[in-house]
């Protein structure tokens, strides 16, 4: 059985999230997703997520292509998570290209292209503008 692991915040779930998860799942038999904790999101992106880590986990684990989720507490623990979940493949978006090659002694590292023209930040900005009009 081939296990694939990937990571992200997945706040305000959108089609870019769904597509990378679907494509990740096609690289193996089981997809495990590390969902950034609320604290990690603040550290990484400088803002509180709209949806809590529990809500984001609930949404992601209920997608057909996802088998298991866990809360990612620290960016520094990628190697531990890969080992804990016995991952054979690590998938990251290509905005991170090359930056996870340090894990290539543990598993295959794959960078998948992001879906153009959509992001959580963009959706939040779009909704705020609607509210202001
Ligand atoms: N992703 C993607 N295509 C997009 C947006 C995100 O493939 N258009 C992928 C990212 O590369 C990552 C995963 O979805 O592997 C989770 O990304 P996340 O950072 O949670 O979403 P963003 O929309 O990029 O969020 P933000 O705008 O807050 O940076």
Top mutation candidate among 6, 8, 90, 99 for ligand 1, by most atoms within 8 Å of CB: 8
Task: State the pLDDT at residue 16.
Answer: 98
d(CA 6, CA 17): 11
Q: 132: CA distance to ligand 1 center in Å?
A: 25
pLDDT(131) > 90? no
| Triad 10, 15, 21: Cα angle to 5° | 60
**Look-up: residue for tokens 């809500």?**
55
Mean pLDDT computed over every residue of the chain: 96
d(CA 4, CA 22): 11
Task: State the pLDDT at residue 132.
Answer: 62
- Tens digit of each residue's pLDDT (9 = 90 or more) over 35-81: 999 999 999 999 999 999 999 999 999 999 999 999 999 999 999 99
User: For the whole model, what pTM was predicted?
Assistant: 0.97
d(CA 109, CA 127): 35
Residue-number span of the structural domain to which 56 is assigned: 3-132
pLDDT(133) > 70? no
- Could you tell me the CATH number of the domain that includes residue 73? 3.40.50.620
Mean pLDDT for 16-37 is: 98
pLDDT band at 14 (very low <50, low <70, confident <90, very high): very high
Residue 108 Cβ inside 6 Å of ligand 1? The answer reads no
End-to-end CA distance of the chain: 52
Q: 22: CA distance to ligand 1 center in Å?
A: 14
Task: State the pLDDT at residue 1.
Answer: 95
> Parallel, antiparallel, or unpaired: how do β-strands 108-112 and 68-72 relate?
unpaired
Number of domains in the chain: 1
d(CA 20, CA 29): 15
Of all protein residues, the one whose alpha carbon is nearest to atom 15 of ligand 1 is 93
Task: State the pLDDT at residue 10.
Answer: 98
Q: What is the CA radius of gyration of the chain?
A: 15
d(CA 18, CA 24): 10
Residue 18 Cβ inside 6 Å of ligand 1? The answer reads no
Task: State the pLDDT at residue 30.
Answer: 98
């Amino acid at each position: 059985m081939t296990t694939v692991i990937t990571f992200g915040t997945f706040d305000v779930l959108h089609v870019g999230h769904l597509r990378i998860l679907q494509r990740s799942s096609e690289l193996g038999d089981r997809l495990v997703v590390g969902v950034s904790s609320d604290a990690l999101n603040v550290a990484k992106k400088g803002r509180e997520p709209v949806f809590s880590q529990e809500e984001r986990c609930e949404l992601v684990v209920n997608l057909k292509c996802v088998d298991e989720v866990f809360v990612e507490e620290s960016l520094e623990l990628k190697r531990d998570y890969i080992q804990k979940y016995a991952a054979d493949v690590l998938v990251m978006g290509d905005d991170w290209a090359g930056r996870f090659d340090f894990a290539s002694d543990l598993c295959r590292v794959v960078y998948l292209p992001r879906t153009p023209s959509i992001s959580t930040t963009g959706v939040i900005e779009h909704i705020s503008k609607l509210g202001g009009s």
